[in-house]
Amino acid sequence: MTIKNHRTLLLLAASITLAGCQTTTTTPFKDATQYENIVTIKAEIDSDGDGVPDELDMCPATPENVVVDDRGCPFTMPGVGLKMEYRAFFDKDSSELLPKYQAELDKVGMKLQEYKTATILIEGHNSRTEVDSVSIDQANALAQDRANKVKDYLISKYNIAPERLTATEYGARRLITSSDSEEGNMLNRRVYAIASEPEE
């Protein structure tokens, strides 16, 4: 064997040895499926903390520690006298009772028929913007008209005796929220009523 061929064999052996010692680094494959089906959850706002989101709450601004139904409205507990609240909200400068609030008022009317000695106090309220745009007397008259609309509805449709219903106005003297936004003004343009019967 010549020296040239000997060197060639040595170089070939060295190359094979080095190739066997090399390590291969593999980049892990990221499975695209791990990024699929990521759900974005919209936070639900419950301003009065009654457990019913605002978008479903038919009775906003419920006081603390009041048990409500799935609509966010207080309901009558079995075995006790009638305790029932009612709320309706109005367009600006209007006393028209909207159909969705008539449906709720129907439930009050049926309860008043059931509880023969129950009475109801009906309060009419204004927003601050309504009071600021007209005279105090005009604003108070609007609040009174809102309360009267609820009273007249119960008398005409459910034949509730007038002496069982008291309608009064509070103007803008009992705001339930700030008047800095349209939403706040809407919540203040309201009728609030509570029907009750002494517990036996």
Query: Mind listing the domains of the chain with CATH numbers?
Result: 83-196 (3.30.1330.60)
Antiparallel, parallel or unpaired: β 83-89 and 190-196: antiparallel
Percent residues over pLDDT 70 in the chain: 68
- Give the CB-side neighbour count of residue 3, counting CA atoms within 13 A: 0
Q: What is the pLDDT of residues 118-170, one digit of tens each?
A: 999 999 999 999 999 899 999 999 999 999 999 999 999 999 999 999 999 99
For 195, list phi and psi in degrees, rounded to 5. -100, 135
Query: For the chain, what is the radius of gyration of the CA atoms?
Result: 36
Predicted TM-score of the model (pTM): 0.62
Distance CA 189, CA 18 (A): 87
Residue 47, pLDDT > 90, answer no
78-83, long-range: CB < 8 A, 24+ apart: 80/199, 81/115, 81/118, 81/196, 81/197, 81/198, 81/199, 81/200, 82/111, 82/115, 82/118, 82/195, 82/196, 82/197, 83/194, 83/195, 83/196
* Whole-number pLDDT of residue 187: 94
